[in-house]
């Protein structure tokens, strides 16, 4: 075999071996549009499309059908306990930093309190929540819940639910006064349910310095983490990442 042939064979073998390693991963997400969601039986969203290209670029045979869409709390607990889990889209925060290995960033996140405009809720600071009687809907184990955990006298005002859709319905029905969630995801869900996003407003920003990442369980091999990060970096450098983001922003504008 020529030197070139040997090099090509080695390269193909390495790609195949890497793909097999990536194929051992379990992919877990939740309904969190426009980042990850299922519509008409198809897993899609910014993070889903990007991850599929990352895996394909790395030689994996994983498909969209391999992605498990679970309640966030179930996926989060699984990623903490088991190996070779990819959980997304996960806000990377200081308390979570050493709980996972990270690939990203995907996009910035901005977690806020959303309320109906007609209720005229005004808050100058998060500390006011502890002195108020407002009920706040959150998704279990979501960053919104974690941020409110740190605020005095707020815990007993928090209503825990399994999905953003559930919180959106309770907000519409006035069963909670506010919703702690990413602003763009909250508005997308409200519109998806047939509610008018113009009737809702951001009352207070809880966090705007974080970004979404792919969170990998701690027992995941560092080589796998490096392969995925390298693939993401390539997708960004070639402009594909921006193309995917633009596609979903157009889709939202057309809704």
Whole-number pLDDT of residue 4: 38
Q: Which two tokens stand for residue 106?
A: 């995907």
Per-residue pLDDT reduced to its tens digit, 144-197? 999 998 888 888 899 999 999 999 999 999 999 999 999 999 999 999 999 999
Q: What is the mean pLDDT of residues 125-136?
A: 90
CA 80/CA 153 separation, integer angstroms: 28
CA 199/CA 18 separation, integer angstroms: 49
Whole-number pLDDT of residue 130: 84
Helix (H, G, I), strand (E, B) or coil at 1: coil
Per-residue pLDDT reduced to its tens digit, 4-13? 344 434 444 4
pLDDT at 60 over 90: yes
CA 186/CA 112 separation, integer angstroms: 9
CA 162/CA 75 separation, integer angstroms: 11
Q: How confident is the model at residue 19 (pLDDT cuts 50, 70, 90)?
A: low
Helix (H, G, I), strand (E, B) or coil at 214: strand
Q: Which domains does the chain have, with CATH numbers?
A: 13-108+211-254 (3.40.190.10), 109-210 (3.40.190.10)
Higher pLDDT, 35 or 254: 35
Q: Which residues of 191-213 are buried (b: 16+ CB within 10 A; e: fewer)?
A: bbeebeeeebbebbebbeebbbb
pTM of the model: 0.87
Lowest-pLDDT range of 63-72, 133-142, 148-157: 148-157
The dihedral through the CA atoms of 71, 182, 186, 137 has a sign that is positive
- Distance spanning both ends of the chain, measured CA to CA: 57
Evaluate whether 228 touches 104 at the Cβ level (below 8 Å): no
């Amino acid at each position: 075999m020529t030197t070139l042939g040997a090099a090509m064979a080695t390269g193909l073998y390495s790609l195949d071996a890497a793909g097999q390693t990536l194929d051992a991963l379990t992919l877990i997400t939740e309904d969190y549009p426009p980042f990850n969601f299922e519509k008409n039986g198809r897993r899609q969203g910014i993070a889903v499309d990007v991850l599929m290209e990352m895996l394909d670029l790395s030689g994996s045979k994983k498909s969209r059908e391999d992605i498990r869409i679970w309640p966030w709390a179930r996926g989060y607990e699984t990623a903490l306990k088991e190996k070779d889990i990819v959980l997304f889209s996960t806000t990377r925060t200081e308390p979570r930093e050493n709980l996972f290995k990270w690939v990203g960033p995907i996009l910035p996140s901005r977690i806020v309190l959303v309320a109906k405009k007609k209720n005229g809720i005004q808050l100058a600071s998060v500390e006011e929540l502890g002195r108020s009687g407002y009920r706040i809907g959150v998704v279990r184990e979501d960053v919104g819940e974690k941020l409110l955990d740190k605020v005095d006298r707020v815990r007993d005002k928090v209503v825990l639910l399994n999905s953003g859709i559930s919180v959106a319905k309770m907000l519409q029905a006035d069963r909670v006064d506010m919703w702690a969630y990413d602003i763009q995801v909250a508005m997308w869900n409200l519109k998806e349910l047939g509610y008018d996003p113009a009737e809702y407003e951001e009352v207070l920003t809880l966090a705007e310095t974080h970004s979404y990442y792919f969170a990998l369980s701690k027992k995941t091999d560092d080589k796998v983490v490096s392969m995925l990060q390298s693939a993401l970096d390539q997708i960004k450098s070639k402009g594909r990442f921006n193309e995917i983001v633009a596609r979903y922003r157009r889709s939202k504008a057309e809704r």
